[in-house]
Amino acid sequence: MNDSTTPARPSVPHHEDRPVYVIGGGPGGLAAAFALRSRGVRAVVLERTEHVGASWRRHYDRLHLHTTRRLSALPGLAMPRSFGRWVSRGNVVRYLEKYAQHHELEIVTGVEVSRVEPSPDGSGWLLHATGGRELTGSAIVVATGHNHTPRLPDWPGRGSYAGELLHASDYRNAAPYAGRDVLVVGVGNTGAEIAVDLVEGGASRVRLSVRTAPHIVRRSTAGWAAQFTGILVRRLPVAVVDRLVRTLAKVSVPDLTEHGLPRPDTGLYSRVNEGSIPVQDVGLIDAIRKGRVEPVAAVESFEDGKVVLADGSRIGPEAVIAATGYTRGLQELVGHLDVLDGRGRPVVHGARTPENAPGLYFTGFTNPISGMFRELAIDAEKIAKAIAGRASVQTRS
């Protein structure tokens, strides 16, 4: 792996030796590279930063996987038992570094691919990358990640806000916010966990802006991880899962309506299919019940130094942390190939390849309730099998 400040410039491979290029050195890209190499297919990982696992390096300090260690390992290397059941952000980074080294993956850092298109001879793919590089590959695996580009809403009057405004991707820990009044916008897993972190870190007041009431699930109940349930029900009809989870929630999760956070009016699995996964409780329920985290209405705008909420109220926090998600960042890369849906997501993923773009694969752009790392590992094997099979057919012909 090349981690130097001046990354090597890979030369354009010969026609008969075109590798598969894997775009992105996160868990999905590394898993795909190993699975390909295990099937005798040369895979070259192109990573835009100087290190693998870039997205995990920039996450907040207290983050842990919400999936179990045993079901979060990538192909070919178990996670160490010393990491514990819920693996910390720092240990995820260490694992990804070890994974790349252990499998001796071919990784080029400091190379960002800006656009891919069919090669002129129609037999592969041409990648346009930094430094004027033009690389030709037999196939491409796009693994740039679900959390690629931070999304900060363009709220009216945002520029006039005199307080501190930052996206959650820039939040590390609660130390800078001790004794301060903070508004967290967004009640996904990131927003919920940052709100709890702020409370525990000594913020004087923490409010949580909620547009749509989330489904909240216990990360583990009597030793049974929520991930296990996600795996068991993933293939069941949506309506069945919605009813089942609604019943379980009434037993395991208290009703927080009187505290400003009502139960959601749509089913959990229906929400998942729309791209919204449930919030795993890491202290939010207790923080809300004790009044330490105060749910408030959605942010509508900023005006006269205040934050205007959807219910018409105005509040004046000293800092606003926007846990408002990310965009996939795929439009410039592959948008011209007609392989994205209306929300900028790949129309296919895993072993499937678009009919109009054979040899182009995507991994890591879904948000499964069965666990992202687990599904990345499964997809890696499927993608490698598909690419190796395709190469074998082409060789015989």
Residues 350-394 pLDDT 10s:
999 999 999 999 999 988 889 999 999 999 999 999 999 987 666
Quickly tell me which residue has 């004087």 as its tokens: 204
Phi, psi of 136, rounded to the nearest 5 degrees: -115, 125
- The packing angle between helices 27-38 and 89-102, to 10°, is 20
pLDDT in tens, 222-260: 899 999 999 999 889 999 999 999 998 888 999 999 999
Average pLDDT over residues 184-200: 97
pLDDT for position 390: 80
Q: Which range is least confidently modeled, 24-28, 121-125, 183-187, 197-201?
A: 121-125
The structural domains of the chain, ordered by start, are: 15-148+328-396 (3.50.50.60), 150-322 (3.50.50.60)
Average pLDDT over residues 174-180: 98
The pLDDT mean for the chain works out to 92
Smallest Cα–Cα separation from 376: which of 147, 219, 145? 145
Pair 35, 157: CB distance under 8 Å: no
pLDDT over 80 at 5, yes or no: no
pLDDT for position 149: 86
Torsion angle of the four alpha carbons 28, 33, 36, 38, in this order, in degrees rounded to the nearest 10: -110
Pair 290, 284: CB distance under 8 Å: no
pLDDT for position 396: 54
* Percentage of residues in the chain having pLDDT higher than 70: 94
Q: Which range is least confidently modeled, 157-171, 268-282, 351-365, 383-397?
A: 383-397
